[in-house]
Amino acid sequence: MRIKVRYFARYRSLVGKGEEELEVPEGITVKELIDILKERYPILKNEVFAEEDDLADVNVSRNGRYVRFDEV
């Protein structure tokens, strides 16, 4: 499935763009998407996750609604 990822504030500066479209597997969770983004943009690893791989101060929304990281 094709999705649009939008970056705001410091994440926009880190990845150097405001948005991009990605092809991802159907049923992907938010955490799995973040793992893909960490592979594409290694600088996000320290920005999105703490040392123990716990979530840092990040808010993710889908279609205007904030979602948990285990949501599809």
Residue with tokens 């092809």: 23
Q: What angle do CA 43, 45, 50 make, to 5 degrees?
A: 135
- Model confidence at 15, in pLDDT bands (50, 70, 90)? very high
- Please give the pLDDT value at position 57: 66
CATH no. for 2-66: 3.10.20.30
CA of 68: how far to CAs of 17, 28, 42, 60, in Å?
24, 13, 22, 8
Q: Where are the domains of the chain?
A: 2-66
Stretch 4-22: mean pLDDT: 93
CB 17 within 8 A of CB 5: no
Stretch 61-66: mean pLDDT: 85
Q: DSSP code of 53?
A: S
